Structure 1
């Protein structure tokens, strides 16, 4: 009986032998080509890392800018609300300063002991003073003598009467007032035809 020179290898050893044979089968050109490919991939990787760092810096700068803009807007909103409240307070103050003298005279009139004529005269003077205060505030009465205007008047009654013209204001129940073109209170009127 002859002895066999064949050596038996296990699977792991067999795989290593095949890998070595494969590697030995690679020629020098392929190795140079693979080294070039590795260098190219490393260069591309460095460029991508640089670009990634640049984009992260830009993102960080944008986030910081958004935080700053948000804070500025919040401050602007708070400042605007405070200014708006101040303007309203100043406007009320101007109006009330003109109305206090009228109130003073009405209080004096209620404490007067006198004739009906004297009280009526005092009330007329107070009404004149009140109208002067409205004039200083550039508030004027809405006229009704030019006929009914739906932009200025509120018709609460309507009558048919041949003695009056088309859309004539027959009676004013409550005077209306405006400041410039802004209607503060519509005139409440009765309209004919």
Structure 2
């Protein structure tokens, strides 16, 4: 009888212990689940906040890219416009230069056409040598008048040698003459303003 009672008590103890263990496990499990759920909620909120921040940054970057693209497009249009304007300016300038040169040549040639006319008349008209000489002198005067109209003047070739106006092609020693003295002019020089058209070819002493 005693053994039966002890056996019965042992079984009741086991059942009670098993029940208490199960209850403890269930409580621990529920607590773990609650902590996990709380952590999950916090993580979800952090993820949502981080996602929102990323979306805001992406939106800001997209807006910045849009502005930069607009600026780039504007700059490209401006570059194309400037290129076209420069090309037109270059063509216009070249055309103006050609016209200036053509007009300058025309102005010069118009002044010398009468000289050519007088030379042709001199050849056509008969007469002796004196008449021919007189005709040539008239042509020379007409030629010089044309040079005056074009503001062309003869280079002064008397006195001291000036390398800016004269070209010394011969040199002599003569104690009766001063240093760098022009002795003879072989070819007259001409200038227009400060521009020398042709240097005088001269002989220089000492």
- Normalising by structure 1, we get a TM-score of 0.85
C-alpha deviation, 1:112, in angstroms: 2.6
Q: Does the alignment pair 1:117 with 2:144?
A: no
C-alpha deviation, 1:38, in angstroms: 0.6
Higher gyration radius (CA): 2
Q: Determine the structure 2 residue equivalent to 1:55.
A: 68
Higher helix residue share: 2
1:164 to 139, 161, 177: 177
2: CA distance, partners of 1:138 / 1:48? 71
How large is the Cα RMSD of the aligned pairs?
Answer: 1.4
C-alpha deviation, 1:24, in angstroms: 6.4
Provide structure 2 residue ranges, at least 5 long, that are not aligned to the other structure.
1-35
Map 1:145-164 onto structure 2 (within 5 A). Answer: 145-164=158-177
Q: Determine the structure 2 residue equivalent to 1:4.
A: none
Provide structure 1 residue ranges, at least 5 long, that are not aligned to the other structure.
1-22
Q: Determine the structure 1 residue equivalent to 2:26.
A: none
Q: Determine the structure 2 residue equivalent to 1:44.
A: 57
Q: Determine the structure 1 residue equivalent to 2:16.
A: none
Q: Determine the structure 2 residue equivalent to 1:3.
A: none
2: CA distance, partners of 1:106 / 1:85? 31
Mark the CA change 1:146 to 1:24 in structure 2 (over 3 Å): closer, same or farther: farther
Size of the alignment, in residue pairs?
171
User: What is the CA deviation profile of residues 114-157 of structure 1, one whole-angstrom value per residue up to 9, with x for unaligned ones?
Assistant: 11111111111111110010000000000011321000111111
1: CA distance, partners of 2:108 / 2:90? 27
Q: Determine the structure 2 residue equivalent to 1:12.
A: none
Q: Does the alignment pair 1:142 with 2:155?
A: yes
Q: Does the alignment pair 1:188 with 2:201?
A: yes
C-alpha deviation, 1:109, in angstroms: 1.3
